Amino acid sequence: MDARIRELLKPEILNTIDGLELIARIIVEGFMSGSNKSQSVGAGQEFNQYKNYQAGDDLRQLDWKVFARSERYYIKQSEIETNITVKFILDASHSMAYEEDGLSKLQYSKVMTAALGYLARKQSDTLGLFTVNDKRIASVQPRFEQQQFIRFLNELVHLKSEGTWSKGNGMEQLFDHHSKEMIVFITDLYDDSEDLQQFISKLKTTRNEVIVFHLMGKHETDFDFDGSFTFEDLETGARTKADTLIQHKEYSQRVQMWLASSRKWMLEKQINYQLIFINEPFDIALRNFLHQRNALLR
């Protein structure tokens, strides 16, 4: 990870609105300066063909330059408005407190959300944020206002990982089957009876786009600990003793099967699945996501 970003991930910086905004700005502006500036988090693509104007077409899409040359009315057929509503949903259950190399999944999710939110704001998209566990569901309802990004960051700064994933109690506000929007859900996918899969399937409609960022640690995935350990479930408190040398192969196989099945299930549901390791630099994770997403839109 970039040494400058690592230096900024101190609690006294990360846990303030100004500090989190600074981190997000450095990540996004660094990413934008080193890549194609047309990258966008919202929906949209450039036009690639014209069609003859017909009664009822949107006059705002008329190409007046073409009219001036040909005296005929043409519509930019594939032009799609890029300003949309981007709704972020964060899993705030206690398992998100898992950390590696001094950085927890929750902290990583805060920075990624702030960076994507900063990028969306630069594109004049409408932002909303929902944080979920069984203790509370907090919301910053989607709005397009000057102060919205400050509200957005304030909720991220004060967010704590606690309890388990919520199985109801106010979840209906997260399901909007009428609006065209992008939903970004950040989670470690840990639950007890596929509640998260049911939740994700309810998010997806024919009108919206759903992206799931699945956060994992490299040590957590590879089980590359050395010796015998007692592991504790952060949500239930249950403890399990394991000899990592003996159980390494079996554990690794089960994790890889779980990751593969999660990816396959989401692809079948037309959900964009992104596996991200919390040891991975933020700008690399952001670049990989946007490049893959833009490739799907072509």
- Give residue 47's pLDDT: 47
- Dihedral in degrees, nearest 10, Cα atoms 89, 4, 20, 99: 50
Please name which of 107, 117, 112 lies closest in space to residue 142, comparing C-alpha atoms.
Answer: 117
- Give residue 23's pLDDT: 95
Burial 230-260 (b: 16+ CB within 10 A, else e): eeeebbeeeeeebeeeeebeeeeeeeeeebe
- Give residue 5's pLDDT: 85
| Predicted structure pTM score | 0.80
Q: CATH assignment of 3-30+81-297, given 3.40.50.410, 3.40.1550.10, 3.90.1010.10, 3.30.1060.10?
A: 3.40.50.410
- Give residue 56's pLDDT: 59
Segments of the chain scoring below 50 in pLDDT? 36, 38, 44-48, 79-80
- Give residue 228's pLDDT: 64
- Give residue 222's pLDDT: 82
- Give residue 60's pLDDT: 60
> For 38-93, what is each residue's pLDDT tens digit?
456 665 444 445 566 566 555 566 666 666 666 666 666 554 455 789 999 999 99
Q: Where are the domains of the chain?
A: 3-30+81-297
